[in-house]
Chains A and B, each alone.
Chain A
Amino acid sequence: MKPIIKLLLEGGSLTTAQLAQVLKLSEADVNRQLEELKEQRVLLGFRPVLNLAHEDSGVVRAVIEVRITPERGGGFNRLAERISRFDEVESCFLMSGGYDLLVFVNGSSLQKVAAFVSEKLASIEGVLSTATHFMLRSYKEQGFMLDVKQEEADRLKVAP
């Protein structure tokens, strides 16, 4: 793994200047490396990890198990990509087991997610069935615990 990727994973939210300092590169070099990673589609982007439970965000999330018909030549890919392109779809995975795709969906209300499933997703030719599970509560997102307060550790400031 490239040092810059390791550092992005490990360092949390380091600024470009901080990345440059650790990697002993100029800021311009760091930016160039990040650009390269973007061009190679290794680095897809940055997004904040948020706990929206305390915001009046009105986001409804659901996980949908989707069974689809594989196609000659393309297998599941064409349909999977087609489904992934909807704005409502946050992530989409091909799975082993009892269904084919696991689709993570966001919507501003329960009705909107339901409408997406029944009108858009289920009606695609090749989609055999859907099973929608609404998320009730999130405990951990992207490696962050949500409702566990980061306690000010009572670590000693100096220890042998």
Chain B
Amino acid sequence: MDSSRYIAKHVVNLPKSGIRDFFEVVAKMKDVISLGIGEPDFDTPWHIREAAIYALEKGKTHYTSNLGLIELRRAISKYVEKTFSIGYRPEDEILVTVGVSEALDIAFRALVNPGDKVMFHQPCYVSYSPSITLVHGTAIPVPTYAKDQFALTAEALRAAWQPGAKLLVLNLPCNPTGGTCDRAQIEAIAKFAVEKDLLVLSDEIYSELTFEGVHTSIASLPGMKERTIYLHGFSKAFAMTGWRIGYACGPAALIEAMMKVHQYSMMCASILSQEAAIEALLRGEDAMKSMRDQYHRRRDFIVRRFNEIGLKCHLPRGSFYAFPDVSGTGLSEKDFAVGLLEAEKVAMVPGTAFGANGSGFCRACFATSYEQLIEASNRIERHVQSLAAKPRTPTGARG
């Protein structure tokens, strides 16, 4: 029996993540230096893990409130106010979720009617476009460009805007480009959102990992809190990817709508992860800053190396990703990444995994040890030199 005929049409049509394709190739190889991992190389700081162990010992094994533990929501409220200058009420403006991924999914499900238009900037995190498709919305990608260091500009938004657009998804600093916006750029985006009456979903998961200047949340701008759902979590700043814990903050009516979806699907985030998250917020700042400083220094190293090697690379102002331009090698990003993997066993993710306009770029995660970064950069250099020495052959042909 062909069981696939039972699959819903919009799921059949959903493309497989480009990352997964690449993962299949890399998984089969041994001794690969991977710059393809989208997570910190640090394990979660011990005091956070210890708090979860203690919670388990104390018998914290039950459901929590749908919104999440009130102690956690209070801690989130204080942290967001102190760090990003946005005030949310713990009682009804904060929802604890299973990572930002769930927050984004339930936001779409709570807000998007079939056919509603959702704008987001590209290259971007792999799930935005499929998540919009899954709620039968219409995805409107807005390009960001290397010339702007992949900051989103109001001009690009205006050019891509279509009548009826309802939501705008932001991810600043951005995975995979490391691009972010300064305050003036954010203000221009906010002005555009007000002008076009867009509700903003702001995924700020990398905000602590901002290396130059201060991170400005769009929700902190005058008049924007009421038209923004602020999404954040613990994965990147506190090295807690596997805990799957995040949160959404926003106007009470919208949080209530998201909570409805959340309570019928997820019910609540894992209580152990919530207990660990409380510890991270209350006592995790030093460890977090130490990790950020290390990413900062590694970024400076790897970006400098890419430019020395001849792969033009802008300075990512946030996140732990460099996004070098590999088009100078004469190869597509995919051929370059596969060639590099085969010849030198270094994995970078082809930029097109993050949207069509990632073409010509590869993503390199620098959240890995100095030894690995040094070795990887030397191997990439050798590979680029060997490509330059070879006569050009058209893509796909055998040379």
Chain A interface (Cβ < 8 Å from any Cβ of B): 6-7, 10-12, 14, 18, 21-22, 24, 155-160
Contact = CB atoms under 8 A, between A and B. Distances in A.
Interface string B33-49: 01011110000000000
24 contacts: A6-B297, A10-B297, A11-B370, A11-B371, A12-B369, A14-B374, A18-B370, A21-B377, A22-B370, A24-B304, A155-B39, A156-B23, A156-B37, A157-B23, A157-B26, A157-B36, A157-B37, A158-B19, A158-B26, A158-B34, A158-B347, A159-B36, A160-B19, A160-B125
Contacts of B125: 160
A159 B374 contact: no
B17 interface: yes
Among A10, A155, A160: residue with most chain B CB under 10 A? A160
Contact of A157 (B32, B175, B294, B374): B32
Which 6 pairs between the two chains have the least Cβ-Cβ distance?
Answer: A158-B36, A158-B23, A11-B370, A159-B38, A157-B34, A157-B26
A10 B370 contact: yes
Interface of B: 17, 19, 22-23, 26-27, 32, 34, 36-39, 125-127, 175, 294, 297, 301, 304-305, 347, 349, 369-371, 374, 377
Given A6-B297, A14-B370, A160-B17, 5 more contacts: A14-B374, A158-B19, A158-B349, A159-B38, A160-B125
B370 A159 contact: no
A24 B347 CA distance: 24
A12 B297 contact: no
B22 A158 contact: yes
Contacts of B301: 22
The SS class assigned to the A binding surface is loop
A158 B32 CA distance: 11
A160 B370 contact: no
A156 B370 CA distance: 19
A2 to B, nearest CB: 13
Contacts of B374: 14, 18, 21-22
B39 A159 contact: yes
B377 to A, nearest CB: 8
Contacts of A14: 370-371, 374
Contacts of B19: 158-160
Contacts of A10: 294, 297, 370
Contact of A160 (B26, B126, B304): B126
Contacts of B370: 7, 10-12, 14, 18, 22
A154 to B, nearest CB: 11
Contacts of B305: 21
A12 B36 contact: no
Given A12-B371, A18-B374, A22-B374, A157 B297 contact: no
A12 to B, nearest CB: 7
A157 B347 contact: yes
Nearest to A3: B297
B1 to A, nearest CB: 33
A155 B37 contact: yes
Contacts of A12: 369-371
A22 B294 CA distance: 13
Nearest to B305: A21
A157 B371 contact: no
A10 B42 CA distance: 13
A155 B367 CA distance: 13
A80 B369 CA distance: 40
Contacts of A18: 370-371, 374
A7 B296 CA distance: 12
B71 to A, nearest CB: 31
A160 B127 contact: yes
Nearest to A22: B301
Nearest to A23: B301
B291 to A, nearest CB: 11
Nearest to B349: A158
Contacts of A158: 19, 22-23, 26-27, 34, 36-37, 347, 349
A83 B32 CA distance: 51
A14 B373 CA distance: 12
A14 B297 CA distance: 15
Contacts of B32: 157
Nearest to B34: A157
A18 B370 CA distance: 9
